[in-house]
Chain A
Amino acid sequence: MSILVNADTRLLVQGITGREGEFHSTAMLEYGTNIVAGVTPGKGGQTALDGRVPVFDTVADAVEQAGANASCIFVPAAFAPDAMLEASEAGIPLVICITENVPALDMLRVYHVLRARGTRLIGPNCPGLTSVDEAKVGIIPGNIHRRGPVGLVSRSGTLTYEVVQAMTDAGMGQTTCVGIGGDPIIGTSFIDVLDMFNQDPETEAIVMIGEIGGEEEEKAAAFCAREVGKPMAAFIAGRTAPPGRRMGHAGAIISSGGGGTAESKRTALEEAGIRVADSPSHIPQLLRDAGVG
Chain B
Amino acid sequence: MKLQEYRSKEILDRHGVPLLAGRTATTPEEARAAAEEIGGPVVVKAQVLVGGRGKAGGVKLASDPDEAEQKAREIIGLDIKGITVRTVLVAPAAEIAHEYYLGLILDRAAKAITVIASAEGGVEIEETARTNPDAILRLPLHPLIGLQEHQSRRVAFFLGIPADLRKDFGRVMRGLFDAFVQSDADLAEINPLVVTDDGRLLALDAKIVLDDSALPRHPDLEAMRDLNEEEPSEIAAREAGISFIKLDGNIGCMVNGAGLAMTTMDLVKLAGGEPANFLDIGGGAKADKVTAAFRIILDDPNVKAILINIFGGITRGDEVARGIVEARSQLEREVPMVVRIVGTNEAEAKPILAEAQLITADSLDDAAAKAVAAAGGAA
Which residues of A are at the interface with B, using a C-beta cutoff of 8 A? 19-20, 24, 27, 77-78, 100-106, 108-109, 111-113, 127, 139-141, 144, 154-162, 165, 182, 184-185, 209, 211-212, 214-216, 235, 237-242, 245-252, 255-258, 262, 278-281
Q: Which B residues from 232 to 286 make CB contacts under 8 A with A? A: 243, 245, 247, 255-263, 265-270, 275, 278, 280, 283-284
Partner of A103, one of B109, B217, B259: B217
Question: How many Å lie between the Cα of A238 and that of B257 in the bound state?
Answer: 13
Question: A78-B217, A240-B275, A279-B365 are known contacts. Are A161 and B311 too (CB-CB below 8 A)?
Answer: yes
Q: Are B262 and A101 in contact (CB under 8 A)?
A: no
Q: Are B259 and A158 interface neighbours, CB within 8 A?
A: yes
Report yes or no: B258 in contact with A247, Cβ–Cβ below 8 A: yes
Interface status of B184 (Cβ within 8 A of chain A): yes
Interface with A: B54-62, B207-215, B330-338, which one?
B207-215
Cross-chain contact of B343 among A141, A155, A251 (Cβ < 8 A): A141
**Which B residue sits closest to A102, measured CB to CB?**
B213
The answer to whether B149 has its CB under 8 Å from any CB of chain A is: no
Q: Are B314 and A20 in contact (CB under 8 A)?
A: yes
Is B112 an interface residue when CB atoms closer than 8 A count as contact? yes
The verdict on A246 contacting B212 (CB below 8 Å), with A105-B181, A111-B111 known, is yes
- Asked if B270 contacts A279 (CB within 8 A), the reply is yes
Nearest-CB distance from A256 to chain B (Å)? 7
For residue B179, give the distance in angstroms from its CB to the closest CB of chain A. 13
Q: How far is the CA of A230 from the CA of B8 in the complex (A)?
A: 50
Contact A105 B313 (CB under 8 A): no
Contact A252 B262 (CB under 8 A): yes
Chain A residues with CB under 8 Å of B181's CB are: 105
Please report the C-alpha to C-alpha distance between residue A106 and residue B211 in the assembled complex, in whole angstroms. 11
Asked if A256 and B126 make an inter-chain contact with CB atoms under 8 angstroms apart, the answer reads: yes
Query: Whose C-beta in chain B lies nearest to the C-beta of A128?
Result: B313
Chain A positions within 8 Å of B314 at CB level: 20, 24, 139, 157
Q: For B313, what are the chain A residues with a Cβ–Cβ distance below 8 Å? A: 127, 139-141, 157-158, 161
Cβ–Cβ contact A279 & B267, under 8 A:
yes
- B1 (CB) vs chain A CBs: closest residue: A246
A250 lies within 8 A of B212 (CB): yes
15 contacts between A and B (CB under 8 A): A100-B283, A105-B211, A112-B111, A141-B313, A141-B344, A157-B258, A157-B314, A158-B343, A159-B260, A162-B364, A165-B311, A212-B262, A237-B259, A257-B124, A281-B363
Whether the Cβ atoms of A242 and B270 lie closer than 8 Å is: no
**CB proximity of B142 to chain A, nearest CB, Å:** 8
A185 touching B108 in the complex, CB below 8 Å, given contacts A109-B143, A156-B257, A239-B266? yes
Cβ contacts under 8 Å, B258 to chain A: 156-157, 182, 211, 247-249, 252
Q: B342 on the interface (CB 8 Å rule)? A: yes
Closest residue of A by beta carbon distance from B243: A248
Question: Chain A residues with Cβ under 8 A from B163's Cβ?
Answer: none
Least CB distance from A140 to B in Å reads: 6
Contact for A158 among B51, B217, B257, B270, CB less than 8 A: B257
Q: Is the CB of B126 within 8 A of A159?
A: no
> Residues of B at under 8 Å CB distance from A?
51, 106, 108-109, 111-113, 124-126, 129, 143-144, 181, 184, 186, 211-214, 216-217, 243, 245, 247, 255-263, 265-270, 275, 278, 280, 283-284, 311-314, 342-344, 363-365
Describe A's contact surface by its main secondary structure.
loop
Tell me which residues across on chain B come within 8 A of A280, comparing CB atoms. Answer: 263, 364
B-side contacts of A78, CB under 8 Å:
216-217
A250, B213: Cα distance in complex, Å: 8
A255 CA to B107 CA in the complex, in Å?
13
Q: What residue in chain B is nearest A157 (Cβ atoms)?
A: B257
4 A-B pairs besides A78-B216, A158-B313 with CB distance below 8 A are A144-B343, A156-B259, A158-B343, A257-B129
With a CB–CB cut-off of 8 A, which chain B residues contact A241?
262, 265, 278
Once bound together, how far apart are the Cα atoms of A101 and B260, in whole Å?
Answer: 18
Complex Cα distance, B269 from A252, in Å, reads: 19
Q: Which residues of B contact A246 (CB under 8 A)?
A: 212
Residues of B within 8 A of A77 (CB): 213, 216
- Residues in A whose Cβ lies below 8 Å from that of B262: 159, 211-212, 237-238, 240-241, 247-248, 252
CA distance A209 to B181 in the complex (A): 32
A113 to B344, CA, bound (A): 35
Known contacts A104-B106, A112-B143; A237 and B263 CB within 8 A of each other: yes
A5 to chain B, nearest CB (A): 17
| Cross-chain contact B186 with A104 (CB below 8 angstroms) | yes
Q: Residues of B contacting A165 with CB < 8 Å?
A: 311, 342
Report the bound CA distance from A250 to B261 in whole Å: 14
Q: A109-B144, A154-B259 are in contact. Are A104 and B184 (CB under 8 A)?
A: yes
B129 touches A240 (CB 8 A): no
Q: For the complex, give the distance between the alpha carbons of A78 and B213 in Å.
A: 10
Check B106–A184 contact: CB distance below 8 A: yes
Contacts of A247 in B (CB 8 A): 245, 258, 261-262, 278
Chain B residues, Cβ within 8 Å of A105: 106, 113, 181, 184, 211, 214
Residues of A within 8 A of B108 (CB): 184-185, 214, 216, 251
A161 to B346, CA, bound (A): 13
**Chain A residue, CB-CB nearest to B127:** A257
Once the chains are docked, how many angstroms separate the CA of A156 from the CA of B247? 22
CA distance A161 to B263 in the complex (A): 12
Contact B257 A159 (CB under 8 A): yes
Interfacial chain B residues near A212, Cβ < 8 Å: 262
- Residue ID in chain B nearest A115 by CB atoms: B111
Q: Is the CB of A249 within 8 A of B259?
A: yes
Question: What is the CA–CA distance of A242 and B278 in the complex, to the nearest angstrom?
Answer: 10
Q: Which residue of B lies closest to A158 (CB)?
A: B257
